[in-house]
């Protein structure tokens, strides 16, 4: 998994409307990139809704939020519409960014081991390096923790 001070790997992925979005598009500003397992599941919905509820604060700070999962752009569009999500959701079915950021890992649930996305959040600084890495975040508190960090 990426750590503080490491260069964030570049990516270009389609958003919920099929538009291509690159990390490079945000050069010169801080950006929050969070990885989550699946659209419309309970934890992922709570996490996304918490970011949406705090959206005004992120806008005031001038910090965009990007959510990334393996779901399709069409799935992201439905998820965004259903939950009024105002931020970018990127589709990464080939795990380009997911693996580059190191969040595709072995997970254990109910004694069963499988590979999947570890819910993680990164704050990328204006210079493109990882300013803060937050592995294994909790869906209900992640957005507020990110805001507290950004406010200093």
Q: Shortest CA distance to 83 belongs to which of 35, 50, 37, 126? A: 50
Active site residue: 33, 44, 68, 143, which one?
44
Is 44 a residue of the active site?
Answer: yes
Q: Which residue has the tokens 């210079």?
A: 127
Q: Give dist(CA 33, CA 65) in Å, integer.
A: 6
How many whole angstroms separate alpha carbon 32 and alpha carbon 144?
12
End-to-end CA distance of the chain, in Å? 24
Residues taking part in catalysis: 44
């Amino acid at each position: 998994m990426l750590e503080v001070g490491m260069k964030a790997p570049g990516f270009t992925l389609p958003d919920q409307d099929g538009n291509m979005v690159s990390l490079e598009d945000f050069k010169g500003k801080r950006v929050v990139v969070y990885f989550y397992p699946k659209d419309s599941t309970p934890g992922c919905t709570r996490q996304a809704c918490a970011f949406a509820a705090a959206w005004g604060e992120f806008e005031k700070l001038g910090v965009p939020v990007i959510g990334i999962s393996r779901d399709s752009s069409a799935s992201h569009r439905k998820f965004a519409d259903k939950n009024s999500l105002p931020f970018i959701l990127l589709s990464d079915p080939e795990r380009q960014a997911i693996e580059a950021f190191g969040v595709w890992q072995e997970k254990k649930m109910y004694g069963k081991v499988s590979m999947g996305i570890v819910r993680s959040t990164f704050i990328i600084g204006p210079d493109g390096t990882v300013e803060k890495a937050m592995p294994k975040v909790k869906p209900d508190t992640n957005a507020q923790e990110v805001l507290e960090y950004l406010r200093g």
